[in-house]
């Protein structure tokens, strides 16, 4: 499944500018969905992280409170201003983190460097989400975990049709592709979903993936 016709893809520079501009309002803008659902899902997902952890497109660091204490954390994002907020949050929480401005589609880490790779609410934004997921698989240890919390195309046909109809305008306005199918993207990137749950009318996906040839958990 390729990108649907009429969809405009933002460049990395445009996304960086957008999130730099948005950074100080981001947490406020997301407060309601966080309160209703996302914070609970983040907590359940991220507590599975172990060892050396890479969080890709970490934004303002909303997952930071939920990591188990023994993890060593590296956060990357395109937006320096989003990362600056994440760094402040880490300081408040007393957590040591390494933050680096980096494109998810070209991670500057060697193969198999991390035990766990986490990414949340990001595949909707990446210009090439399959390339980004492939990179997450590459830098993850062969038997490591890739933990994803995403939103995407509903499995209710009436809602999916509406998402398809409105997706080009939405993507043009805010660079978010809300009718992508994260499970399909995982499959196309060569990863294997070993657990997947869908909530909120099938629009929210919680996925644990592994490299395709890794043994089952």
Ligand X SMILES: C[S@@+](CC[C@H](N)C(=O)[O-])C[C@H]1O[C@@H](n2cnc3c(N)ncnc32)[C@H](O)[C@@H]1O
Size of the residue set binding ligand X (CB under 6 A): 19
How far from 39 is each of 22, 33, 64, 69, 136, CA to CA, in Å?
Answer: 20, 8, 11, 18, 23
Q: Which of 121, 130, 140, 206 binds ligand X (CB under 6 A)?
A: 121
Across 57-108, where does the E strand assignment appear?
72-77, 97-101
The answer to whether 126 contacts ligand X (rule: CB under 6 A) is yes
Q: Which of 46, 64, 104, 140 binds ligand X (CB under 6 A)?
A: 104
Kindly tell me which of 11 and 217 has the beta carbon lying closer to ligand X. Answer: 11
Question: For the chain, percent helix, then strand, then coil, each to nearest 5?
Answer: 40, 25, 35
Kindly tell me which of 30 and 184 has the beta carbon lying closer to ligand X. Answer: 30
Q: Of the listed pieces 66-74, 88-96, 119-127, 208-216, which binds ligand X according to CB under 6 A?
A: 119-127
Helix axes 80-93, 12-29, angle to 10 degrees: 40
Q: How many helices and strands in the chain, by DSSP H and E?
A: 7, 7
Q: Of the listed pieces 46-54, 65-73, 97-105, 152-160, which binds ligand X according to CB under 6 A?
A: 97-105
Kindly tell me which of 106 and 212 has the beta carbon lying closer to ligand X. Answer: 106
What residues have CB less than 8 Å from 157, skipping those under 6 apart? Answer: none
Helix (H, G, I), strand (E, B) or coil at 207: strand
Kindly tell me which of 120 and 154 has the beta carbon lying closer to ligand X. Answer: 120
The answer to whether 57 contacts ligand X (rule: CB under 6 A) is yes
- Cα(138)–Cα(12) distance, rounded to whole angstroms? 21
Q: How far is the CB of 46 from ligand X (least distance, A)?
A: 10
- Calculate ∠ Cα 123-125-128, nearest 5°: 70
Kindly tell me which of 82 and 191 has the beta carbon lying closer to ligand X. Answer: 82
Asked if residues 37 and 204 have their Cβ atoms less than 8 Å apart, the reply is yes
| Chain residues 59-78 in contact with ligand X, contact rule CB under 6 A | 59, 62, 77-78
Kindly tell me which of 108 and 164 has the beta carbon lying closer to ligand X. Answer: 108
* Residues forming the site for ligand X (CB under 6 A): 12, 15, 19, 57-59, 62, 77-79, 82, 103-105, 120-122, 125-126
């Amino acid at each position: 499944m390729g990108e649907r016709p009429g969809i405009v893809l933002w460049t990395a520079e445009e996304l960086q500018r957008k999130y730099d501009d948005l950074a100080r309002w981001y947490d406020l803008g997301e407060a309601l969905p966080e309160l209703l659902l996302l914070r609970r899902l983040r907590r359940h997902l991220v507590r599975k992280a172990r060892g050396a952890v890479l969080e890709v497109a970490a934004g303002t660091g909303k997952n930071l409170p939920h990591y188990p204490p023994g993890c060593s954390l590296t956060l990357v994002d395109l937006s320096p201003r989003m990362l600056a907020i994440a760094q402040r949050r880490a300081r408040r929480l007393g957590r040591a983190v390494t933050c680096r401005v980096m494109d998810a589609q070209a991670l500057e880490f060697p193969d198999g460097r991390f035990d766990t790779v986490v990414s949340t609410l990001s595949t909707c934004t990446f210009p090439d989400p399959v390339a980004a997921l492939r990179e997450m698989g590459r830098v993850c240890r062969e038997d490591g975990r890739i933990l994803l919390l995403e939103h995407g195309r509903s499995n209710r046909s009436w809602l999916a049709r509406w998402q398809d109809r409105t997706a080009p305008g939405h993507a043009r306005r805010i660079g978010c592709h809300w009718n992508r199918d994260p499970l399909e993207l995982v499959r196309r990137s060569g990863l294997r979903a070993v657990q997947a749950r869908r909530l909120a009318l099938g629009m929210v996906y919680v996925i644990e993936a592994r490299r395709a040839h890794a043994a089952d958990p």
